[in-house]
Amino acid sequence: MRIYDDIPSRPLSVAGRAVGIGVFDGVHLGHQELIRRVVTAAQNSGLKPLLFTFDRHPLELLNPSDAPPYLTPLEDKLSLMEQAGAEEVVVAKLTPQLLSTEAEDFVRQVMVERLNTRWVVAGWSFRFGKGRRGTPEMLRQIGAELGFRTDVVQPVTVDGEVATSSRIRELLACGRLAVANRLLGRPHSITGKVVRGRGRGRTIGVPTANLEIPYRAALPSRGVYKAEAVVGCDGYPAVVNIGLRPTFNEEPVLTVEAHLIGFRGDLYGRSVRLRFLERLRDERKFDSVEALKHQLAEDIERALGER
């Protein structure tokens, strides 16, 4: 897959493109349907499938305090796009100048003149251009004038839930991991580097890897989770605690701690990916370390169940 790290400064090759456009955070079931439509349109029309996305969420520039956490970092997003069939991806650098471009000018100058767009696929809620005035209907109207087709992907639902990035973030935040995973079409995951903690887990016989929380990563709500931990090419069943470790009366700092079942070795400084499979329970304070150890043994037994 070819990746352009910004809007090309010159027109792409004469080959026409079927272009899917959006932020694509999460590459969830709705995004996957959009990409499928792009690939199908390209195959049926002799075009190249290209996805147009951004290096960050627009709210990071427009209103940073409201910018959402990320379901997928850029590296993961690009990998998922490639798996879905994209041959080219433009990762536009989001700048005040780009955000202030009128929607009509964006379509003419970028979509048509630079990308040689012949077919556009956009989601039903997609907005673009200055003041977010660009809509799928506007794309249809301009396309009729400039010679490209527009396909609008309607909401994709699972059990009455619409697959949108914002809804998945809400579900994760309120502990509804199973529903969030269904809308994603895979387990939600985060990747972090293992850093040194206080070593509490090792002293009670359940050593944990303390992950440095990635910048602006969307975390599931506080609680204990069954997960798969991936280290290099190897996967291990894991119990993950996201919380404040209330049993030890420590300073309330949010931590992500993973006990990798069956792992032997040193993880410090290594990268670990956690795939969250099931929420086991809420985080809670125990009356004694022995009570905590008993509960952890039960958590480990459940994590070793059918995966």
Q: Would you call 257 a catalytic residue per the annotation? A: yes
What's the pLDDT tens digit per position in 253-304? Answer: 889 999 999 998 889 999 999 999 999 999 888 877 788 888 889 989 999 9
What would the two tokens of residue 93 be? 């650098």
What span, in angstroms and rounded, lies between the C-alpha atoms of 18 and 46? 9
pLDDT digits (tens, 9 = 90+) for 60-84: 988 998 999 999 999 999 999 999 9
- Beta strands across the sheet bearing 88-92: 2-4, 88-92, 48-54, 17-21, 117-123, 149-153
More confident residue, 201 or 37: 37
pLDDT surpasses 70 at 115: yes
Q: Percentage of the chain surpassing pLDDT 90?
A: 78
Rounded CA separation 121/30 (Å): 12
Query: Active site residue: 33, 88, 228, 257, which one?
Result: 257
pLDDT tens, position by position, 129-163: 999 999 999 999 999 999 999 999 999 999 999 99
